[in-house]
Structure 1
Amino acid sequence: MKRASRRAALTILAACALGGGAAVGLLPSYWLFLATGVLITAVALLSLGLVAGRTGMIALCQMSFAGVGAWTVGYMNIWQVPGGLLLWILIGGLAAVPLGIAIGLPALRLRGINLAIVTLSFAAAFDTVLATITFPGQTSFQSVPRPALIDSDPGYFLFVLAAYALVAVGLAFLTRTRLGAAWLAIRHSERAAAAHGVSVPMAKLSAFGISAFIAGISGGLLAGFLGTLVSENFSLMQSLVLYAVATMAGAHLAEGAIIGGILITLFPELLRRLDLAQDIGNVIFAIGAVQALAAGEAIAESLRRLGRRLRGGASAAPAAAAAVRDGGLPASPAGPRPPPDGAGPPVLAIRGLSVRYGAVVALDGVDLSVPQAAVVGLIGPNGAGKSTFIDAVTGFLETYEGEVALENRPLEGVAAHRRAQRGVRRSWQTTRIAPELTVGDYLTLAAGGLDEAERDRILAWLDCPAAEMPVAQVDAGTRRLLDVAGVVAARPAVALLDEPAAGQSYDQTLRLAARIAEIPALFGSSVLLVEHDMDLVRAACAQVTVLDFGRVIAAGPPAEVLEDPAVKTAYLGVAEPAGGHAAAEAAS
């Protein structure tokens, strides 16, 4: 991922250098003025792309944060604060952060239209405040000065271009970190993100805080650009237009922010030259945003997909994965945790676990233990309570009775992401991997600190694609293997695998069974396997527990449990009439 981040950064810097040189050398002064506006708008769009495009939260008050940055720069100028425009712009960005975090607090509980209403209300309130005050220095004709080095229009254009490049490069590196992967995971599934040990509240607040800082920077750049501002520059309508264009263009990508900046800045100029009403642009932006949401792909994403097709790079990742597999693997992934010696208490102990939904009893006094360095199966027919059991053990179901202890430490009252951090990791019945991630990004999210060599060996161990492959290009069956890879890469105390063989062929299932059986020795993790495939259970598990209607009806070695008449009755509806079974005799 470091190589990918460097590659993205170099691409952005090269594009900025070429584009900046061409603009300064070829554009007349008026068009250079407009190009500067494009870049300032692009910075604001990058800020919105972070919170809306990457984290999936609706934010309709982004220009309010920009207004905080602009007004801060204005006051710094009036107060003659030492340091000049560059320092003032940074202070303006920092001034917007507390407001960004404050607006982010409702996002911890609200989603969708409810969050949109909160952010829209803040934008309306801020609009009212700005309408009652003038920009600092406006009445005294004291505009924001530029330093001598960037006082000219070409100089300020290059200054804004450098600011845009720094923000875009910074986001390129940040989004390839675990925090960046967590933002995308939250957009796709908050529960899946928490299962990887991600604190969803902290990730959301960090997104709002960083986004507000970047928006404040854009406001400061606008203050230095125009010298004197008015409240209409940061109105509620400007925030709505920014959101619509960010959605349509794909502002979470560097090129998408530039495309959006061109649309917002140059489209009104086109309408003016055609003698058309400016409101037409807002209508077109709204239609474009709806189209992008319906198609599930913004302009910049479409361009990237087209570029990948033209380069023919889609097949490179599987070839790279094959090269890793064919290159010879050690007996285990790098640095395995030595398996415990089997002494001491079970790694996971559940006692008297009961869950009720009103009059419905989903689990009724379930006892189950997962020994150290063991693979234990949990089976049962549909509706037996297996998923409820996993949700309760991993903290996604807060209301239950009984005790859950990890390595003799009780987990009651411990949030889901804290349980994951302590060593209780899970996969899901249906894959919840964010398709915007690459395979390598996903493993970084799941495992935290993971060097590239170990990452590649783990992927090869499970026959997964290479790290550079986008998850969106991975088939459903292979994504289930990625789920397993993500769980075990974190080397938890216990891994709860929920139907990992779904979508696998018979041969693939047997290979997966062999891999699951190796997990305790290779990763030092015990395994609780929830599965319907009896071939997988027989091949991988040393012990099996059977649930039916929320109760344990059998437990022991697979060969014995699967021949138990009660188990056959649970699965088949009637016991097989063999060996004089009492249930069969009663039925006759």
Structure 2
Amino acid sequence: MDTARKSRPHSRSRGGVSGVLAAAGPLGKPLPLGIVVGAIAVAVLSAVSDSSTLFNLTSAAVAVVFMQSYGLITGRAGVISLCQLSFAAIGAWVVGWANTADVPGGLYVWLLLGGLAAVVAGLLIGLPALRLRGVNLAVATFAFAIALDVVFGGLNYPGQDSGDYVQRPDLFDTDQAYFVFCAIVAGLIFVGLYFLDRSRLGGALVEIRHSERAAAAHGISVTRGKLAAFALSAFVAGIGGGLMAGQLSVVSAANFSAIASVSMFAIALFVGTNNAEGAIAGGLLGAFMPVIIDSIGIPQDLAALLFGVGAVQVLRLGMSQTDLVRTQYRRKQAAKVPPIAAPPVSVFPRPKPVRQPRKGPPALEVRNLRVQFGNLVAVDDVNLVLPRGQIVGLVGPNGAGKSTLINTVTGFTSRYTGKVLLDGKGIDHLPAHQRARAGVRRSFQQLRVPTSISVGMFLQVAAGKTLTDRETDEQLRLFGLPPAATPMEAVDVATRRLLEVAGLAAGRPPVLLLDEPAAGHSSDETRLLVERITEIPERFDTSLLLVEHDIELVRATCDQVVVLDFGRVIASGPPARVLSDPAVIAAYLGDATH
């Protein structure tokens, strides 16, 4: 007899959030409204401002572009870069050169050339920086900024000696019109970032920032992701440098010093320039704060110190000011939405389906696997077969070697002896992200789900492929999950675990390794998980290796069980026989004779 499952607690709100949280602009406002509001603000400011204010507004618009660059590299990908103004210097130099050389197309084309030249520099600094993290990466990018200061400090920018000033486009040759032009460029970048955030690349960048291991497990190349972030952010910074050259007519190395780059980084980190409102606030602060401080007689160095303190506070809290505001807003909106009923599940456990192994080589095979860390042998000559279309449980007491085995099979432990075969073919030479792309996907015992994206976006990232809206909605309904537009902040840990399983299954990998997916679930949630796991082989054509301490869950879902103890296989076979084996009972409960 089946009946509908009871609604989950109020904290696990469903439905109705999507209308308020789906959109992308500040605090969920839709993109068209943001464009209209921005256009009106620019039109009014350009009409009522005097020449001095127009200059500062133009500086703010250029600074917004710089902030968008920081939002790409640090805000989205989590990479510390202190050389963004160095990329801007390259863009400004190319614009100056194109102006003196009369390159056709005017500033419209020159800006793109400057951005592309900065991309080359971004890739050159990105490649050696890929192996660096945290402070080491910050030092490396700062060293590049200092080196470029030395290079450009000994050179005059094109047109600086001859007085050949950068020519603005005919439609935007006045100060008033050029402010509008800079605002339009910044707006176009905002639109581009809007669509980037909703693409698989945008989701990949966020996951790389959150957890590089989880990104690799989902088939994302961390190397390519970081290089893409360096390239895109350098392109935006290069365009910003070109805009500054058009504003000042001619620039010098002092406009793009390494110290200025660090100050802008502090502002960007403090306000959160991965958000549109943060980039605008950062641009306004960068342009107007020095003017305000100078007008009240406070030393300029003190302003940089204040932003530095703010950046340290962000590092302590783990999020910027705009991220904090957005998180609080979303949680308040989610709390107003009543919970909805989840899909029905059986009150009594359904009979476990009888799954026969399919023809062909095993979906996954491990031969004579041995993993040793110093004197510790974590996995000792393990052989394991995962037949096609079946679920195999991997059980054992804590410290038995289960996690090490999974890490080795999925490429996160590279030093081992033995063989790992997928569909009869060796994959030992493949790194983790390539094994995931080949079809060996996994979840993690410790939850690695980014909280700054939506439920639907994470489902796409975990699936490792583009899903249609219909496929996304069907998968979410199947697993009793909230609507695609719901932010991850609005769902609890158990829901996030279920979402990861749903996303991995949606990718239809040949092999899926689930590491304790029921951790933190209630009994109702576990029943739903059991039903969905038992459906995965037939519904998604996926074979499962299930690591789980819940023996009843293993008994209800698995066709075969393999038991590890001290890194060795001590039993394998049908669940009923294996789980009643005295050696297995002794491994779990201890030998009563000792």
TM-score of the superposed pair, with normalisation by structure 1: 0.92
- Per the TM alignment, residue 301 of structure 1 is displaced from its structure 2 partner at its CA by 1.9
Count of aligned pairs: 561
- Per the TM alignment, residue 314 of structure 1 is displaced from its structure 2 partner at its CA by 5.0
Question: Does 2:411 correspond to 1:400?
Answer: no
Q: Secondary structure at the match of 2:397?
A: coil
Question: Does 2:307 correspond to 1:285?
Answer: yes
Question: Does 2:364 correspond to 1:342?
Answer: no
In 2: Cα distance, 1:100 partner to 1:251 partner: 19
**Partners of 2:330 and 2:490 within 8 A in 1:** no
Question: Does 2:474 correspond to 1:457?
Answer: yes
State which of 462, 470, 475 in structure 1 corresponds to 2:487: 470
**Partners of 1:324 and 1:457 within 8 A in 2:** no
Aligned to 1:535: 552
Deviations 1:100-137 (A, max 9, x none): 01111123211011111110100000011111111211
In 2: Cα distance, 1:371 partner to 1:54 partner: 40
State which of 543, 549, 552 in structure 1 corresponds to 2:569: 552
Aligned to 1:441: 457
In 1: Cα distance, 2:584 partner to 2:47 partner: 80
In 1: Cα distance, 2:248 partner to 2:574 partner: 77
In 1: Cα distance, 2:342 partner to 2:242 partner: 49
**Partners of 2:356 and 2:390 within 8 A in 1:** no
Q: Structure 1's 15 and 540: CA in aligned 2 closer, same or farther, altered over 3 A?
A: same
**Partners of 2:530 and 2:557 within 8 A in 1:** yes
State which of 273, 284, 308 in structure 1 corresponds to 2:295: 273
- Per the TM alignment, residue 26 of structure 1 is displaced from its structure 2 partner at its CA by 2.7
- Per the TM alignment, residue 156 of structure 1 is displaced from its structure 2 partner at its CA by 0.7
**Partners of 1:106 and 1:115 within 8 A in 2:** no
- Per the TM alignment, residue 506 of structure 1 is displaced from its structure 2 partner at its CA by 2.3
In 1: Cα distance, 2:423 partner to 2:237 partner: 46
**Partners of 2:22 and 2:485 within 8 A in 1:** no
State which of 566, 572, 575 in structure 1 corresponds to 2:589: 572
Question: Does 2:39 correspond to 1:39?
Answer: no
**Partners of 2:271 and 2:320 within 8 A in 1:** yes
Question: Does 2:507 correspond to 1:484?
Answer: no
User: For the aligned residues, what is the CA RMSD?
Assistant: 1.9
What is the one-letter code of the residue matched to 2:539? L
State which of 40, 59, 71 in structure 2 corresponds to 1:49: 71
- Per the TM alignment, residue 3 of structure 1 is displaced from its structure 2 partner at its CA by 7.3
State which of 196, 199, 202 in structure 2 corresponds to 1:180: 202
Q: Secondary structure at the match of 2:82?
A: coil
In 1: Cα distance, 2:102 partner to 2:342 partner: 60
Q: Secondary structure at the match of 1:383?
A: coil
- Per the TM alignment, residue 533 of structure 1 is displaced from its structure 2 partner at its CA by 0.4
Q: Secondary structure at the match of 1:361?
A: strand
Moved more, 478-487 or 518-527: 478-487
**Partners of 1:57 and 1:107 within 8 A in 2:** no
Moved more, 359-368 or 2-11: 2-11
Matches within 5 A, 1:514-533: 514-533=531-550
Q: Secondary structure at the match of 2:591?
A: coil
Aligned to 2:514: 497
What is the one-letter code of the residue matched to 1:399? R
State which of 513, 519, 528 in structure 2 corresponds to 1:511: 528
- Per the TM alignment, residue 18 of structure 1 is displaced from its structure 2 partner at its CA by 2.1
- Per the TM alignment, residue 41 of structure 1 is displaced from its structure 2 partner at its CA by 0.4
Aligned to 1:332: none
Q: Structure 1's 553 and 313: CA in aligned 2 closer, same or farther, altered over 3 A?
A: closer
**Partners of 2:459 and 2:500 within 8 A in 1:** no
In 2: Cα distance, 1:302 partner to 1:362 partner: 42
- Per the TM alignment, residue 305 of structure 1 is displaced from its structure 2 partner at its CA by 3.7
State which of 131, 144, 147 in structure 2 corresponds to 1:122: 144
Aligned to 1:329: none
In 2: Cα distance, 1:421 partner to 1:15 partner: 43
Aligned to 2:272: 250
What is the one-letter code of the residue matched to 1:66? A
Q: Secondary structure at the match of 1:501?
A: coil
Question: Does 2:391 correspond to 1:375?
Answer: yes
Of all paired residues, the percent bearing the same amino acid is: 48
**Partners of 1:510 and 1:535 within 8 A in 2:** no
Structure 1: unaligned runs, 5 residues or longer: 327-338, 576-583
**Partners of 1:12 and 1:165 within 8 A in 2:** no
Moved more, 112-121 or 472-481: 472-481
In 1: Cα distance, 2:586 partner to 2:447 partner: 31
Larger relative contact order (C-alpha < 8 A, sep ≥ 6)? Answer: 2
State which of 284, 292, 307 in structure 2 corresponds to 1:262: 284
Q: Structure 1's 512 and 324: CA in aligned 2 closer, same or farther, altered over 3 A?
A: closer
**Partners of 1:377 and 1:537 within 8 A in 2:** yes
Q: Structure 1's 4 and 340: CA in aligned 2 closer, same or farther, altered over 3 A?
A: farther
What is the one-letter code of the residue matched to 2:536? I
What is the one-letter code of the residue matched to 1:133? L
Q: Structure 1's 359 and 323: CA in aligned 2 closer, same or farther, altered over 3 A?
A: closer
Q: Secondary structure at the match of 1:552?
A: strand
In 2: Cα distance, 1:566 partner to 1:153 partner: 84
Structure 2: unaligned runs, 5 residues or longer: 1-17, 345-354
In 1: Cα distance, 2:453 partner to 2:22 partner: 16
Q: Secondary structure at the match of 1:133?
A: coil
In 2: Cα distance, 1:307 partner to 1:528 partner: 40
What is the one-letter code of the residue matched to 1:344? G
- Per the TM alignment, residue 446 of structure 1 is displaced from its structure 2 partner at its CA by 1.5
Matches within 5 A, 1:421-436: 421-436=437-452
Aligned to 1:145: 167
What is the one-letter code of the residue matched to 1:224? G
**Partners of 2:410 and 2:436 within 8 A in 1:** yes
Q: Structure 1's 88 and 193: CA in aligned 2 closer, same or farther, altered over 3 A?
A: same
Question: Does 2:81 correspond to 1:65?
Answer: no
What is the one-letter code of the residue matched to 1:369? V
Deviations 1:504-557 (A, max 9, x none): 122322221121111011111011100000111011111100000000000111
In 1: Cα distance, 2:64 partner to 2:329 partner: 22
What is the one-letter code of the residue matched to 2:390? A
Q: Secondary structure at the match of 2:512?
A: strand
